[in-house]
Amino acid sequence: MPPATTGVTLDTRLPFVLGGPSAKKLADAFDMRTVGDLLSHYPRRYVQRGAASDLDALTVDEQVTVQARVRSAQNRTYGKPDHGRRRNRQPVRTEVVVTDGSGELLLTFFKQPWQIDKLKPGALGLFAGKVGSFRGRRQLLHPEYVLLDPVGGSSTDADGDYAAHLVRPMIPVYPATARLASWRIASCCAAALDALGELDDPLPADLRDRRGLVDLRTALEGVHRPDDVADHQCGRERLRYDEALVTQVVLARRRLLLDTLPAIARESVTGGLLERFDQRLPFALTDGQRRVGKEIASDLSRNQPMHRLLQGEVGSGKTVVALRAMLQVVDSGGQAALLAPTEVLAAQHHRTLTTMLGDLALGGMLGGADGATAVRLLTGSLGTTARRRALLDVSSGAAGIAVGTHALLEDRVAFAELGLVIVDEQHRFGVEQRAALTERGTAARPHVLVMTATPIPRTVAMTVFGDLDTSVLAEVPAGRLPVQTSVVPAERPGWLERGWQRVREEVAQGRQAYVVCPRIGADEAAGDSGEESAPQQPDPDSPRLPPGHAVLDTAAHLQAGPLAGLRVEVLHGRLPPDVKDAVMDRFTTGAVDVVVSTTVVEVGVDVPNATVMVVLDAERFGLSQLHQLRGRVGRGAAAGLCLLVTDADADSPARKRLTDLAATTDGFAVSQLDVTLRREGDVLGAVQSGRRSSLRLLSVVQHEHVIAQARADATELVDGDPDLERLPGLRAAVANLEDTSGADYIDKA
């Protein structure tokens, strides 16, 4: 390692501190470029020097670093003699057995007989590699190692650079690779810490004191070179808070910026469409709908753009709330756009809105009420004539409400005066798509209402949607019965047979059912190419489904066997749009008994007469997705039934997930469980943003109190110093996050 260097900061490039070869290894393995990148690569755990690792806990294919003691070592010959320069010499395999006192691990080296002279019985060392299996025994093949307590010598390794690090009482174990062992990363971190100059601490001293946090340098030392457990716990607590605060400061500045943007106030109008619609409602709004409606109406009446997240339990009546907001905007001379993720859902919304409005949606048409508006559907598959008419009505302002898919985002779609954008099921859109409509054209920004039927835990809402005001619809309309959910395991074929009987019984009473499959065709390759595969030949005598649980095969099987004689049709995303619309129309009007579909029916589809949902291969779906699916049934006067059919083993985590789902109908409980089981990066949108999550120590599931404290502190800091001029360290940390696409995701989400 090069000697310590003066003037080193967290932004210093690694070659300047570590030298080119070490820096290149870190860049190749972990995309590290700066000292800050390296020092934010935190240890995943620590081992007490001399305390053996639990070897029985190792799993095959895991990259590990373990501390163990050599039990035995021997060289074995194998194969044919080498007839090269060392004539008639047989190749040697060195087998070393290490132990934690109870379990064992095999270390194997080929053609390295000298290893036996170093790895003597009784030697203690760190061993790193990928866990494999040889004749039923776990092994590391050609592992890297460093001896902490060799027999007949001092701490050593191939380079001899790590002794100072390895004599510490606590040894950090880092996420490592086959070419870059944990102790090599530790040595790089130590060199960086030694070279690091004075730091601009992002947290002001009074805030650190109030929260009981150590300074940044102490935190970094505690995490990378702890003397005891308290050191690394204090360090992690401080660095975790940094992650929360920087994210919340970004969001607080977004909120402040939104308050400065101009928007046109959309006041309620006496005698307008909204008032006339309310007078016609055949049911009373729930308390939640009235409360949320007032919140939205108040936001729309301001000169700053509304940015509100509306969470609504399945069947809670979000559509009515959204329609009332759209009518308030139309009454004030503006237009509203409802953006849906699929053509099936867009068409469903269009049907629902026009049905609810009646003659109030027939503006410019025979039979339209006085002052009525037009509701236009705009999707990519719309015919030329219908598309031209929709575009004309939207651009002229004749259509006060436009409903569509991503087709609404196209440049050729010009609104006369776009006043409100409603994004339904926002998680189904990319951030660029969502931003495109809200940034359209005019000097005044439209108001924005983001809706989701997937309940979001409070911590996730504070982190991912922290710049949005949040409204929650938890109640369901009066008289709505909870959906009974049951797990149907493969080891009980009689249960599945009874499930198909229940479908027949419901249909015999005039009701309908969904059967949901994870795939369209039986052949994955065909599915990948976009072509349909021919359904497998069904066995009408078996209640069991053909392997694959694909829409086409399942429909053929059901029509020939368990549901023979019923009107069964298929629905999936690769059908032509007019065919999809026709299937949904027939299902909605009762001309179809059972729809076998993919998850195109997951959200928004509203057929009150449907009472049974059968989900095949249920273990392949997320919990929130399953909660959405079961919300498609029981939307009328009759109770709903959801059957989760699974091949998962009885004692598997997948089966437990399904059992937990069946035990609750509370969407927020489901979402909390779902988030707990998912990768943190997914929760934070890293998949959509194309980058890994910037959160390494902070969990939006586990650390609610940290996020809440950071949100309060961030609001106070930004209100007092919006540009963070008095806090250069925090300003730099915020700028670093804002330079990433992850912050762009936060900005546009």
Q: What is the CATH number of the domain that holds 111?
A: 2.40.50.140
Predicted confidence (pLDDT) per residue in 233-244, tens digit: 999 999 999 999
Q: Is residue 646 part of a domain?
A: yes
What was the pLDDT predicted at 699? 79
Cα–Cα distance, 587 to 746 (Å, whole number) = 39
Q: 159: exposed, middle or buried (C-beta count within 10 Å: 0-12, 13-18, 19+)?
A: exposed
Final residue belonging to a domain, choices 428, 452, 476:
452
What was the pLDDT predicted at 604? 58
Q: What is the mean pLDDT of residues 393-410?
A: 90
Would you say residue 278 has pLDDT above 70? yes
At 211, list the tokens: 């929260």
Q: Is residue 290 part of a domain?
A: yes
405 and 362 assigned to the same domain? yes
Would you say residue 58 has pLDDT above 60? yes
Would you say residue 538 has pLDDT above 80? no
Most confident of 48-62, 270-284, 462-476: 270-284
What was the pLDDT predicted at 37? 92
Q: Is residue 199 part of a domain?
A: no
Tell me how long the chain is.
749
397 and 495 assigned to the same domain? no
Confidence of residue 465 (pLDDT cuts 50, 70, 90): low
448 and 489 assigned to the same domain? no
What was the pLDDT predicted at 45? 86
425 and 526 assigned to the same domain? no
543 and 623 assigned to the same domain? yes
Residue 95 phi/psi, 5° resolution?
-115, 120
Three-class DSSP category at 704 = helix
Write the CATH number for 657: 3.40.50.300
Are the beta carbons of 329 and 420 closer than 8 angstroms?
A: yes
Cα–Cα distance, 183 to 139 (Å, whole number) = 20
Would you say residue 415 has pLDDT above 60? yes
**Element housing 508 (H / E):** helix 493-508
Q: Is residue 437 part of a domain?
A: yes
Cα–Cα distance, 277 to 275 (Å, whole number) = 5
321 and 435 assigned to the same domain? yes
At 354, list the tokens: 């026009």
**Element housing 641 (H / E):** strand 641-646
What was the pLDDT predicted at 163? 57
Q: What is the mean pLDDT of residues 662-679?
A: 72
Final residue belonging to a domain, choices 615, 648, 664:
664
| % the chain with pLDDT above 70 | 82
Q: What is the mean pLDDT of residues 156-178?
A: 69
Q: Which residues contact 155 (CB under 8 A, 6 or more apart)?
A: 146, 147, 148, 149, 162, 163, 166, 167
At 184, list the tokens: 């090599």
Are the beta carbons of 46 and 165 closer than 8 angstroms?
A: no
Cα–Cα distance, 438 to 429 (Å, whole number) = 13
What was the pLDDT predicted at 748? 47
Three-class DSSP category at 571 = strand
| % the chain with pLDDT above 90 | 42
Which residue, 13, 16, 44, 276, is CA-closest to 173? 44
Which residue, 701, 688, 680, is CA-closest to 744? 688
Cα maximum dimension of the chain: 104
Structural domain tally of the chain? 3
393 and 495 assigned to the same domain? no
Q: Is residue 204 part of a domain?
A: no
What was the pLDDT predicted at 698? 85
Q: Is residue 255 part of a domain?
A: no
Residues 452-484, buried b or exposed e (16+ Cβ, 10 A)? bbbbbbebbbbbbbbbbebbbbebbeeebeebe
Count of alpha carbons within 13 angstroms of residue 428, beta-carbon side: 22
Q: What is the mean pLDDT of residues 730-745?
A: 72
Higher pLDDT, 85 or 295: 295
Q: Is residue 190 part of a domain?
A: no
Would you say residue 394 has pLDDT above 60? yes
Three-class DSSP category at 22 = helix
Which residue, 573, 636, 216, is CA-closest to 428? 573
430 and 523 assigned to the same domain? no
Q: Which residues contact 302 (CB under 8 A, 6 or more apart)?
A: 263, 265
Q: 541: exposed, middle or buried (C-beta count within 10 Å: 0-12, 13-18, 19+)?
A: exposed
Are the beta carbons of 41 and 62 closer than 8 angstroms?
A: no
pTM above threshold 0.85: no
The amino acid that residue 239 corresponds to is L
Confidence of residue 453 (pLDDT cuts 50, 70, 90): confident
Q: Which residues contact 256 (CB under 8 A, 6 or more apart)?
A: 718, 719, 722
What was the pLDDT predicted at 436? 61
Would you say residue 541 has pLDDT above 70? no
Confidence of residue 152 (pLDDT cuts 50, 70, 90): low
409 and 496 assigned to the same domain? no
Higher pLDDT, 380 or 191: 191
Q: How far apart are the first and last CA of the chain?
A: 44
283 and 396 assigned to the same domain? yes
Domain of residue 97 covers 45-173
Q: Which residues contact 101 (CB under 8 A, 6 or more apart)?
A: 52
547 and 635 assigned to the same domain? yes
286 and 423 assigned to the same domain? yes
Higher pLDDT, 481 or 131: 131
Of the candidate ranges 257-266, 440-449, 724-733, the one whose mean pLDDT is the lowest? 440-449
Would you say residue 642 has pLDDT above 90? yes
Within 49-103, strands assigned E span 63-77, 92-99
Q: Is residue 329 part of a domain?
A: yes
Long-range contacts of residues 410-417, Cβ cutoff 8 Å, at least 24 apart: 413/378, 414/441, 415/335, 415/337, 415/440, 415/441, 416/335, 417/264, 417/333, 417/334, 417/335, 417/442
**Element housing 591 (H / E):** none
Final residue belonging to a domain, choices 405, 428, 452:
452
Would you say residue 468 has pLDDT above 80? no
Higher pLDDT, 531 or 6: 6
CB atoms within 10 A of CB 579: 12
Would you say residue 162 has pLDDT above 80? no
At 629, list the tokens: 């699916």
